[in-house]
Amino acid sequence: ETGVTQTPRHLVMGMTNKKSLKCEQHLGHNAMYWYKQSAKKPLELMFVYSLEERVENNSVPSRFSPECPNSSHLFLHLHTLQPEDSALYLCASSQDVGKETQYFGPGTRLTVL
Amino acid sequence: GENVEQHPSTLSVQEGDSAVIKCTYSDSASNYFPWYKQELGKRPQLIIDIRSNVGEKKDQRIAVTLNKTAKHFSLHITETQPEDSAVYFCAASKLSKLTFGTGTRLQVTL
């Protein structure tokens, strides 16, 4: 349960705010992922990082900006979001990209007013 | 890209009965098919997975079957218990990318 942690767990922000989501994995994995989970929609892959390099950007708007300073930490910087961006943002990690078993964090519940 | 469809969206069974959830995928190159369980307010957790070189896999009350020709795979839960109540997601993977189904809300009633 503590292998992948995310902070904050809940975040309420206005459309003009700038905030960041943080993910940390304690599993020694090399790959990290950001997903968006909205009500009644499948989990949507946003970004994939392997050894701190972005290997996939799934047509995500530029108001979401990821950062991976090292293989244990992943950030998602948010600015000028829209109400439709309200969702649960999940971080995951896996041993390597291509080692498909992914372990999820608890998520950040984001509400954009 | 990959498209994964999952049915049913909701499923209610009585305790002790079996539950079956079905998924289809579109990309024949997908080679890994995990199933995740997500309890209310909690993170998705892997419960079982299957690779494309295997047709069936079982772990206690949970089994998964894969038909590569038809491009569909199914989750079978036998002797369901109240703690099996959750949302179940199937996924299909090629290389690093997991594409998820829309989820099935399973309710096990007493």
The 3-class SS string of B36-63 reads: EEECCCCCCEEEEEEECCCCEEEECCEE
Q: Kindly determine whether residue B43 and residue A104, on different chains, have CB atoms separated by under 8 Å.
A: yes
B95 touches chain A (CB under 8 A): yes
Distances in whole angstroms, Cα of residue A73 to Cα of each of A44, A49, A68, A103: 20, 10, 6, 14
Q: Name the minimum distance, in Å, from the CA of B16 to any CA of chain A.
A: 28
- At A65, the amino acid letter reads S
Integer Cα distance of B96 and B43 in angstroms: 20
Residue A6 β-bridge partners: A23
More confident residue, A54 or A1: A54
Per-position DSSP letters for A29-61, written without gaps between them:
-SEEEEEEE-TTS--EEEEEEETTEEEEE-S--
CA distance A34 to A76: 8
- Note the pLDDT tens digit of each residue in B70-99: 999 999 999 999 999 999 999 998 876 888
* φ, ψ at A91 (rounded to 5°): -105, 150
Share of chain A above pLDDT 70, in %: 98
Amino acid at B98: L
Contacts B46 to A, Cβ<8 Å: 101-103
Closest CA–CA distance from residue A81 to any residue of chain B (Å): 23
Q: Give residue-wise pLDDT tens across range A20-51.
A: 999 999 999 999 999 999 987 888 999 999 88
Residue B63 pLDDT > 70 = yes
Is A90 in CB contact (< 8 Å) with chain B? yes
Say yes or no to pLDDT of A99 above 80. Answer: no
Q: CA A58, B42, A67 angle in degrees (round to 5)? A: 35
Contact indicator for B83, B62 with CB cutoff of 8 Å? no
- Identify from B97, B99, B102, B105 which residue to disrupt to test chain A contact, counting A C-beta atoms within 10 A and taking the largest count: B97
